[in-house]
Amino acid sequence: MRFNYRIVFIITTLVFILSTTLTLINYLTSMEATREQLKNSALPLTIDNIYTEIQKNIIEPNLIASMMAHDTFLIDWFSHEEAEVDKVIRYLETIQNKYQMFTAFLVSDKSKNYYSAAGILNKVELKKPNSLWYFEFQQRAEVSEINIDNNSHMGNELIMFINHKILDSDYHMIGATGIGLKTSYINDMLKAFRQRYQFSVFFVDDTGKVVIAEENVKVLQHLSDVPELAIQLPDIIGKGSQVFSYQQAGEAYLLNRKYIDELDLYLIVEAKVNNFTKKAKETLYFNIAVSAAATVLISLVIVLYVRKIHLKLNKLASNDVLTGLPNRRSFHEHLAQLLLLKERNNSNLSVLFIDIDNFKHVNDTKGHDVGDKVLKALAKVLNSHVRKSDFVARWGGEEFVIVLIDSDINQAQVIAEQLRSSVANNSHLAQISQQHITISLGLTSVAHDDTIDSILKRADDALYQAKSLGKNRIISY
């Protein structure tokens, strides 16, 4: 009986498929949970937190700029022909230092002077590129704006200006004032958000153009650069807080927006879903690896265990339980092999049939247990008196059979006689059975045209004659 590896392969595959399916279901569930958590909880909560911080960090400067624009001191100073420049410079210096702004400025529409804490810096003029902001601001309907500009007076550094119009009692623009914040300040704030929440944070205007974003971090230039966002743009540019999803370069993103009235900008908080599902993915790979290792281990245990049982069953099927000798079935198989070999090598082969004499008497007088012991002891005696290459088997009952390899009839006679006398003189057998144990032997040498049946028939006939002639003897045919 051959060991069937296919069944082990099927079991292993099923175990692996089952464990991998469970792992995948687990993974998909946790991915969905992470997405839902991001969408319904993390993003909305974060945008509110960020909004609160922005209020502190940007809206506060905006309020200061607004306060300056409404300050009667500045309006009065304009109406007094901008006399005593020192006063306004001190004013700007105080604002700049008190609120720790990068700069505080004032532009007079009448004189076109640009004042800062450092004094009159220059005049705004239409033909000067760095003055354009003023004239553009003048044209705009809004009373305030946020402008990111590089300022030639400030080492060409990028500055975020919060500009407010100064209006007279008739709502005519008589100048502009405000403060400037280093973009590094905004940058640090956006960077802190990104690092703390793992979200990209930026601001867009009402056209979807990105107006404030962290430096050196790739964010969109315009929301409509992404086709999916372009379609959703009319909804994104809306009030309140809402989550949108889109795909870009094969990555899934979730985007939350909140309109910030004070800045007239939309705060955008964007999450790359993969950043949040990385852990689940790593867990998936780890679980699959563990499943594979466990499956291999289980298969190994199954193979080893089933093989052990298989060998045991094989042994049981081909060996006699009492003596441990090969049984009649094995003998048949073995003899068939030996006959083929004999044909090929033209070697000699002899077969001995052995029967214990008067064994019934042993059983009847000493009991079956003693009979069994005699059978076991006899098996050992037979095995120890033939060569390792010879084949000793239990035929059944108190009968044994031996195939003698490379033995012609004469050599077989010698071995048979040795067996007979060893048994007859065996003190151990006599001691177990409390009587004299002898055996009768039927011997035959295998001829060229012999079959298993013809060999067995001859050996059996010889044995029968040995019994008939008085037992404890060898007859050869």
Which one of 124-132, 146-154, 167-175, 371-379 is the stretch in contact with ligand GTP (CB under 6 A)?
A: 371-379
CB of 374 to ligand GTP, least distance (A): 7
Shortest Cβ 398–ligand GTP spacing (Å):
4
Query: By Cβ distance, which residue is nearest to ligand GTP?
Result: 371
Interaction between residue 357 and ligand GTP (CB under 6 A): yes
What letter would DSSP give residue 222? Answer: B
**Judged by CB, which is closer to ligand GTP: 214, or 357?**
357
Q: Please, what is the minimum distance in Å from the beta carbon of residue 21 to ligand GTP?
A: 55
Among the residue ranges 185-193, 279-287, 345-353, 365-373, the one whose residues contact ligand GTP (CB under 6 A): 365-373
Q: Position of tokens 């807080």?
A: 241
Contact (Cβ atoms closer than 8 angstroms) between residue 226 and residue 204:
no
* CB-CB contact of 105 with 68 (8 Å): no
Beta bridge mates, 252: 247
Task: Draw the binding track, 263-282, toward ligand GTP (x: CB under 6 A; -: no contact).
Answer: --------------------
User: Is the CB of 363 or the CB of 435 nearer to ligand GTP?
Assistant: 363
Question: Minimum distance between the CB of residue 477 and ligand GTP, rounded to whole angstroms?
Answer: 18
> Which residues are CB-contacts of 14 (< 8 A; sequence separation ≥ 6)?
none
How far, in Å, CA of 314 to CA of 256, rounded? Answer: 71
CA distance 148 to 151: 9
Site stretch for ligand GTP (CB under 6 A), options 98-106, 299-307, 367-375, 405-413: 367-375
Indicate the residue among 436 and 471 with the shorter CB distance to ligand GTP: 471
SS3 436: coil
Backbone φ/ψ region at 92: left (φ over 0), alpha (ψ -120 to 50), beta: alpha
How far the first Cα of the chain sits from its last, in Å, is 36
Q: Does 467 bind ligand GTP (CB under 6 A)?
A: yes
d(CA 105, CA 103): 7
What is the DSSP track for 389-431? TSEEEEEETTEEEEEEET--HHHHHHHHHHHHHHHHT-HHHHH
User: Is residue 368 at the binding interface for ligand GTP, with CB under 6 A as the rule?
Assistant: yes
Return the residue of 227, 238, 324, 397 that touches ligand GTP, per CB under 6 A: 397
Q: Is 365 in the site for ligand GTP (CB under 6 A)?
A: no
Which of 90, 128, 196, 360 binds ligand GTP (CB under 6 A)? It is 360
**Region of 5-13, 209-217, 221-229, 352-360 interacting with ligand GTP (CB under 6 A):** 352-360
Radius of gyration of the chain measured on its C-alpha atoms? 53
Structure tokens at 440: 């009768």
| Angle ∠(271,272,274) on CA atoms, nearest 5 | 135
Residues 314-333 touching ligand GTP, rule: CB under 6 A, are 322
Residues that bind ligand GTP (CB under 6 A): 322, 355-360, 363, 368, 371-372, 375, 397-398, 467, 471
